[in-house]
Amino acid sequence: MEKLSNEALRAFRREADDRYKAFVARGVCLDLSRGNPAPEQLDLSRELLNAASDGDYLTSDGIDCRGYNGGVLGISEARHLFAPLLGATPDQVMASGNSSLALMHDALTFAYLHGVPGGSGAWHKAEQQTAFLCPAPGYDRHFRICETLGIRMIPVPMQADGPDMDVVEELAADPTVRGMWSVPQYSNPTGVTYSEEVVRRIAAMQTGAPDFRVFWDNAYAVHDLNETEQERVASLIEACMQAGHADRPFVFASTSKITLPGAGVAFFASSEANLSWFCHHVNRRTIGPNKINQLRHVRFLGDLDGINAHMSRHRALLKPKFDAVLSTLDEHLGGKDVARWTNPRGGYFINIDLHGGGARRVASLALDAGIRLTPAGATFPYGDDPADQNLRIGPSGGTVEALRTAAEGLSLSILLAAADGHLARRASALVA
């Protein structure tokens, strides 16, 4: 578009506008804003709802999952089954309720109120405001927890192999920087899996704060979109132990996108000292998690092979949706030099970066055309995408056909915004 004459650009703009308006007239309606598994995916776990139902509620160590007993660590079977997904040993794992976000919220809140092992006390009592490193684009709900607690967020650029570690290492030397968010595999939203070298550097780096914690949200631990090229992030727990920083990682995962988003099981894994610290505080809050639901999960999924077989059924439903969106973007935007987008090997998102900015405009145009995207900026701390270029789309909901339509509408919105952007830049260059 850069190379078009003014006349050609205006013609391009007119055509884009016509096509966009024709699309709006079709009156479509689709929500791409969240990573919502489709009903067909939920149906894959139908038998989960019947598992461990009929008198069959004792754990292997004799705990009656219906009662109060058993404590806050969750049932042994669940801790064993999911430990590999957390890069942990079973004794390092807590199995909890239905939300890993809640575990992250609570871990950060407990740290804020009471401090963590190896630290000098409650983070909120520190002389200077606590700060967190936030690889961006990232997950908006992580950032919102920091915002709620008044923890200062420092964005760190995401690269193809994880966050820019030169930047991370430099910033982490500041003693007020006490933590870092990470979605280390099939990252939300970029789809990036942290390389071994990045994991090693995170584990090994010298931090200014002795109580630095990495919040490692391995939300997509087994969520491959590609059957043959599966990516697996290295265990942060192992890497940190080897580097002599055993207490650095707080690892989280859940079955929200393995079984049921509303009725899954969430996990926390960490060093002995951290797990004991977390149990202490969780035990002030509750007598224990819903163990029946944990037992249902173990009975339903069985073992790691069972999890893998189950995930392949998700993949069979998800892959055609991602492909439909990607081929539609290719068709409409290929060679136009207006944006680049990811073709992720796993996870739930396609990440789009607009070359000339204008993400807010695109999201607004798309919304007018009936397509809801994640609000532009949401993937950055404080909702502030400095280049206004990042768009996250979650192509899991809706049918393949509806997604193709939505991707077309999105493409037309991008083309129109790009043409407008170019025209505006040329106009202001003329004025200047």
Half-sphere exposure of 339 (CA within 13 A, CB side): 33
In the complex, minimum distance from the CB of residue 199 to a second copy, in angstroms, rounded to a whole number: 28
Q: What's 108-175 look like in SS3?
A: HHHHHHHCCCCCCCCHHHCCCCCEEEEEECCCHHHHHHHHHHCCEEEEEEEECCEECHHHHHHHHCCC
Q: Which is nearer to a second copy, 29 or 113 (CB)?
A: 113
Question: For residue 188, which of 371, 375, 344, 388 has the smallest C-alpha distance?
Answer: 344
Q: Which is nearer to a second copy, 10 or 281 (CB)?
A: 281
Q: Which is nearer to a second copy, 198 or 301 (CB)?
A: 301
In the complex, minimum distance from the CB of residue 260 to a second copy, in angstroms, rounded to a whole number: 4
Q: Which is nearer to a second copy, 263 or 407 (CB)?
A: 263
In the complex, minimum distance from the CB of residue 105 to a second copy, in angstroms, rounded to a whole number: 4
In the complex, minimum distance from the CB of residue 35 to a second copy, in angstroms, rounded to a whole number: 9
Question: Which are the contacts of 211, defined by CB distance < 8 A and separation ≥ 6?
Answer: 111, 115, 116, 117, 118, 119, 120, 178, 247
**Contact call for residues 230 and 216 (beta carbons, < 8 A):** no
Q: Which is nearer to a second copy, 48 or 158 (CB)?
A: 48
Question: Which are the contacts of 304, defined by CB distance < 8 A and separation ≥ 6?
Answer: 81, 84
Q: Which is nearer to a second copy, 4 or 42 (CB)?
A: 42
In the complex, minimum distance from the CB of residue 367 to a second copy, in angstroms, rounded to a whole number: 19
Report DSSP state, residue 411. H
In the complex, minimum distance from the CB of residue 180 to a second copy, in angstroms, rounded to a whole number: 19
User: What is the C-alpha to C-alpha distance for residues 309 and 402, in angstroms, rounded to an integer?
Assistant: 27
In the complex, minimum distance from the CB of residue 287 to a second copy, in angstroms, rounded to a whole number: 7
Question: Which are the contacts of 135, defined by CB distance < 8 A and separation ≥ 6?
Answer: 155, 156, 157, 158, 162, 163, 180, 181, 182, 187
Query: How many helices and strands, by DSSP H and E, does the chain display?
Result: 13, 13
3-class secondary structure, 199? helix
User: What is the C-alpha to C-alpha distance for residues 249 and 240, in angstroms, rounded to an integer?
Assistant: 7
Q: Which is nearer to a second copy, 65 or 354 (CB)?
A: 65
Question: Which are the contacts of 10, defined by CB distance < 8 A and separation ≥ 6?
Answer: 423
The binding site for a second copy (CB under 8 A) comprises: 34, 36-37, 39, 42, 45-46, 49-50, 52-55, 57, 64-70, 97-99, 101-102, 105-106, 109, 112-114, 124, 144-145, 148-149, 256, 260-263, 281, 284-293
Q: Which is nearer to a second copy, 148 or 242 (CB)?
A: 148
Dihedral over Cα of 329, 376, 221, 287: its sign: negative
In the complex, minimum distance from the CB of residue 354 to a second copy, in angstroms, rounded to a whole number: 27
In the complex, minimum distance from the CB of residue 338 to a second copy, in angstroms, rounded to a whole number: 32
Q: Which is nearer to a second copy, 240 or 260 (CB)?
A: 260
In the complex, minimum distance from the CB of residue 333 to a second copy, in angstroms, rounded to a whole number: 29
3-class secondary structure, 426? helix
User: Could you check whether the bond before residue 137 is cis, i.e. omega within 30 degrees of 0?
Assistant: yes
Q: Which is nearer to a second copy, 74 or 163 (CB)?
A: 74
User: What is the C-alpha to C-alpha distance for residues 296 and 426, in angstroms, rounded to an integer?
Assistant: 62
- Largest CA-CA distance found in the chain, in angstroms, rounded: 79
